[in-house]
Amino acid sequence: MIATASWPKVKVGDLTADMQPGFACGIHNSTGEGIPHFRPMNVSTEGSINRLDLKFVSREMANRPERTLRRGDVLFNNTNSPELVGKTALFSDDDEPAFSNHMTRLRPDTTRITSEFLALSLHEVWRSGWFATHCNNHVSQASVGRNVLKDVEIPLPPIDVQRKISLSHTQASTSRRSATGHLVAASGEVNRFRRSVLAAACAGRLTADWRADNPTQSATALVAELAVTHSANSNRYRAAKAVEASMTDLGEADWPVSWAVAPLHQLIEAGRPITYGILKPGPNLEGGVPYVRVTDFKAGTVSLAHIRRTSESIATEYRRSVLRAGDILFAIRGTFGNVAFVPPEIDGGNITQDTARLTIDPRVSREYVALALRSPTVQRRVADAAKGVAVRGVNLGDLRELLLPLPPRPEQDEIVRRVHKLLMVADSVRDRVDQAAHAVESSARKLAAGMFQQHSTSNGAS
């Protein structure tokens, strides 16, 4: 709750002239027909109204005044996850949107409390974590009932102090939004830089000067050699396709003449074909065989923080997809296109059906293949190949035939070295941006709480 030195604490129910829940509606649209129907996501964690993701309902559904908002109303999120239930925002626009049954509309008694101060106080109660510990927990969500909301106590300074606090909060919020906007822009620039580095690397532009000083044999010979290996070891792959493919198949007009193109399956080590993993891993077993999910991918490797484990019998059934340290994992469902390396800690582990295992032929740089898979050109081709409605994904057949640009091996190694150096710079900048964003958010929380204390101690005699 909000800590103050001298203001009386008053129940929210005694400060509101009206408290009204919204209504559920299964018939809505996103095309703008009718009027907005505010839901939990329309109240931001910053305590403001967010109209970026709006649903609309017919005017007939909200033809009663208790179903709509007006300027000065306070909108409370009564149903959400435990950590989000209780978000609150002031409605200060001139239209009259409706609101869902997951929201509660409060109209304050303006002789005792301003709308701005009521919204700010309730949002500060949420920010303090009070609602998370006093909500009703259901199967998949939490709720705060009207009786609980009415009994919430907030400090009540004089009206003039309420206005000063609200004004200070508005000014601070404006500064925070400006700082956050700059940080978001900086983060976007870092991401664009990373994409442009990968694009230049996998189109030959990043190493143009290196090729001028280091003439090498064409990669066509390497592709032909790989094709012979696969032709001799497996009749499942159409080895000739790689030799016949050209660099123009990847959509670039000015490829280096020493580069070639190959389908992904020809870059794979013989005897370890591209495959997905376990369909039903069962319950998490302490001491079992570790397996990797797409959610374990983090910053190009596998995070061990939440690795789950399956039984030896299930792992044996899927021995085709056993992992080796240094293998590349490629997400083929859900957030498809993500790439991660297998760390030594889970050598001998396995994967789920949402992940493909790629063991790269030692004649090809696995680090280069990972960069190529992450490049914008290849990612677009992966997205084009994705299928599905509820959960989109890439089937293994399309993944095996995914064309990758292939420089000669010495240039692959040089590309990896240069990209690694450039992305280290990008990561350093991103870390500083993240630290600055965390500092802004932390300062905003402290400032919001401090405003109440500051005005309480300086105006305690009011």
* Measured distance between the N- and C-terminal CA atoms of the chain, rounded to whole angstroms: 22
**Are residues 220 and 145 part of one domain?**
no
The pLDDT of 125-141, averaged and rounded, is: 89
Whose CA is closest to 434, among 189, 183, 175, 193?
A: 183
| Rounded distance between C-alpha atoms, residue 274 and residue 406, angstroms | 19
Whether 310 and 379 share a structural domain: yes
Considering the domain boundaries, does residue 428 fall inside one?
Answer: no
What is the structure's pLDDT at 447? Answer: 60
On whether the CB atoms of residues 396 and 332 are closer than 8 A, the answer is: yes
* 403-427 pLDDT tens trace: 999 999 999 999 999 999 999 999 8
Claim to verify: residue 150 and residue 220 sit in the same structural domain? no
**E-strand spans in 3-49?**
9-11, 16-21, 35-38
Number of folded domains that form the chain: 2
Give the C-alpha separation, 118 to 58, whole Å: 30
> Final residue of a domain: which of 155, 184, 204?
155
Reduced to 3 states (helix: H, G, I; strand: E, B; else coil), residue 242 is helix
Residue 203 belongs to a domain: no
Segment 212-224, tens digit of pLDDT:
999 888 999 999 9
Query: 224 and 89: one domain?
Result: no
Q: Among 103, 123, 155, identify where a domain stops.
A: 155
Which residues have C-beta within 8 Å of that of residue 380, sequence separation ≥ 6?
none
Q: Is residue 195 part of a domain?
A: no
10 Å CB burial of residue 8 (0-12, 13-18, 19+) is exposed
- Residue-wise pLDDT tens digits, 37-54: 999 999 999 899 998 888
pTM, 2 dp? 0.65
80 and 102 Cβ atoms separated by less than 8 Å: yes
pLDDT band with cut points at 50, 70 and 90 for residue 250: low
Asked if 13 and 133 sit in the same domain, the reply is: yes
Query: Lowest-confidence range among 69-83, 182-196, 397-411?
Result: 182-196
Residue 274 belongs to a domain: yes
Q: Could you tell me if 260 and 354 lie in one domain?
A: yes
Same domain, 387 and 294: yes
Statement to judge: residues 220 and 150 lie in one domain: no
CATH assignment at residue 408: 3.90.220.20
Nearest of 244, 254, 242, 316 to residue 281 by alpha carbon = 316
Average pLDDT value over all residues in the chain: 87
What is the domain extent for residue 323?
216-414
Residue 277, domain member (yes or no): yes
